[in-house]
């Protein structure tokens, strides 16, 4: 069985070379003549056009470019390449599997690739050809290594046999394997993966701006938080869609830090969005409580609870949403900032004010002992 890689740039080359090293027959296809020459110069089988006439059941990986134009993908190259595959399918006697590896909107494999291939080939999906999504997680800087040693392989296909064959193809590379029964879920995984990474980077850039204003070393702070915050190290934390955060700490602390940052002259759009997003889910939960929302449909866990703790009995919703007081350290910082002391490192005394904040009596994560108040 031959593997064709259509679009032989960063991802296509890493994919094709990795599969070649694992003992497969691989043909690279690319519209750019210089790319084809370059790959041929490396001794690889590279061509300008896809020719399936000698093949019966190949895998055809689409690793075509999907750049953005504003807030949408420019799919012109992706569509052109997919049409080319459809035309090659038309004159092929076999039953091939087209695997979308490009990053695309959820729904593209079923909603665009399938219909385009049917249109160009005259074949029916599931009968004349098969479809799968297998998004790529590699990083451009270490593309070849990331392909050879993946920590995660994701496959989405409606066809059980396609799932099994792709799993076999990637088995030699190791890592976790996640198989979904539809391509759209796999496509969504890839989008969420990138968005999560982007959000984390921007979060720490925003925190860097505040830390820098205080002349603090963000590296040491981030290194500590990456080990202290459950959201960093617990895969289950915060992933229960539909449930806002609540309890006595996250709502007030997000609000208070927004004010603190403003006090030292830093706007925090991500933190503001976090608070805004949470209030929307709290409102949904409130609607659910009043019976205006059918919580039985897709709103699992809408009660405003912390992921690890219930709100304290008797706390009002307003208090839980962070409308309470700021701590002494915060107030000192804000006052100092208002007095024009921006960029001045806070004195030890002011920092110590934070020590008055009560903490856990028991210490689930090996931190210092505390007095029993929920975080």
Ligand X SMILES: NC(=O)c1ccc[n+]([C@@H]2O[C@H](COP(=O)([O-])OP(=O)(O)OC[C@H]3O[C@@H](n4cnc5c(N)ncnc54)[C@H](O)[C@@H]3O)[C@@H](O)[C@H]2O)c1
Residue ranges in contact with ligand X by CB under 6 A: 6-12, 29-32, 35, 63-66, 77, 80-81, 84, 102-103, 136, 138-140
Residue whose CB is less far from ligand X, 81 or 247: 81
- What H or E segment, with its residue span, contains residue 29? strand 25-29
For the CB of residue 100, give the shortest distance to ligand X in the complex, in Å.
9
For the CB of residue 20, give the shortest distance to ligand X in the complex, in Å.
16
For the CB of residue 72, give the shortest distance to ligand X in the complex, in Å.
13
Distance CA 47, CA 20 (A): 16
Tokens 């984390």 sit on residue:
200
For the CB of residue 65, give the shortest distance to ligand X in the complex, in Å.
4
For the CB of residue 201, give the shortest distance to ligand X in the complex, in Å.
15
Residue whose CB is less far from ligand X, 95 or 193: 193
Residues paired with 4 in a beta bridge? 27, 60
Residue whose CB is less far from ligand X, 144 or 353: 144
Whether residue 375 contacts residue 359, with contact meaning beta carbons closer than 8 Å, is answered with yes
DSSP state of 7: S
Distance CA 111, CA 65 (A): 18
Residue 367: both structure tokens together: 């931190």
Q: Long-range pairs for 366-375 at CB < 8 Å and ≥24 separation?
A: 367/228, 373/248, 374/247, 374/248, 374/249, 374/306, 374/309, 374/312, 375/248, 375/249, 375/309
Residue whose CB is less far from ligand X, 46 or 248: 46
Residue whose CB is less far from ligand X, 103 or 157: 103
Residue whose CB is less far from ligand X, 80 or 262: 80
Judging by DSSP bridges, how do beta strands 46-47 and 25-29 pair with one another?
parallel
For the CB of residue 4, give the shortest distance to ligand X in the complex, in Å.
10
In terms of Cα–Cα distance, which of 126, 139, 138 is closest to 98? 126
- What H or E segment, with its residue span, contains residue 3? strand 2-6
Residue whose CB is less far from ligand X, 154 or 302: 154
For the CB of residue 83, give the shortest distance to ligand X in the complex, in Å.
8
Residue 356: both structure tokens together: 């008055």
Residues paired with 59 in a beta bridge? 3, 97
């Amino acid at each position: 069985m031959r593997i064709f890689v259509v679009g032989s740039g960063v991802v296509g080359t890493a994919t094709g070379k990795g599969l070649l090293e694992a003992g497969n027959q691989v043909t690279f296809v690319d519209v750019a003549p210089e790319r084809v020459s370059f790959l041929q110069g490396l001794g690889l089988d590279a061509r300008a056009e896809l020719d399936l006439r000698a093949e019966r059941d190949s895998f055809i990986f689409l690793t075509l470019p999907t750049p953005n134009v504003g807030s949408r993908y420019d799919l012109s190259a992706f569509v052109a390449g997919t049409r080319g595959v459809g035309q090659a399918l038309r004159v092929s006697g076999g039953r091939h599997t087209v695997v979308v590896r490009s990053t695309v909107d959820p729904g593209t494999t079923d909603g665009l690739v399938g219909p385009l291939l049917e249109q160009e080939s005259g074949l029916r999906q599931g009968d004349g050809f098969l479809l799968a999504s297998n998004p790529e997680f590699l990083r451009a800087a270490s593309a070849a290594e990331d392909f050879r040693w993946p920590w995660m392989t994701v496959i989405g296909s409606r066809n059980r046999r396609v799932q099994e064959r792709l799993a076999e193809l990637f088995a030699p590379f190791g890592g976790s394997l996640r198989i979904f029964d539809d391509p759209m879920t796999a496509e969504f995984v890839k989008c969420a993966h990138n968005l999560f990474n982007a959000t984390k980077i921007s979060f720490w850039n925003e925190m860097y701006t505040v830390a820098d204003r205080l002349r603090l070393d963000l590296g040491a702070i981030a290194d500590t938080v990456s080990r202290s915050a459950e959201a960093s190290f617990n895969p289950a934390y915060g992933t229960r869609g539909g449930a806002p955060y609540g309890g006595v700490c996250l709502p007030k602390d997000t609000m208070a830090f927004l004010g603190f940052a403003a006090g030292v002259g830093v706007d925090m759009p991500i933190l503001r969005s976090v608070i805004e997003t949470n209030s929307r889910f709290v409102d949904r939960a409130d609607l659910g409580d009043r019976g205006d929302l059918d919580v039985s449909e897709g709103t699992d866990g809408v009660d405003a609870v912390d992921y690890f703790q219930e709100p304290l009995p008797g706390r009002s919703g307003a208090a839980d949403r962070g409308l309470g007081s700021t701590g002494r350290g915060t107030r000192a910082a804000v006052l100092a900032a208002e007095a024009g002391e921006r960029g001045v490192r806070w004195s030890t005394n002011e920092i110590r004010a934070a020590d008055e904040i009560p903490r856990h009596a028991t210490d689930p994560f090996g931190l210092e002992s505390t007095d029993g108040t929920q975080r």
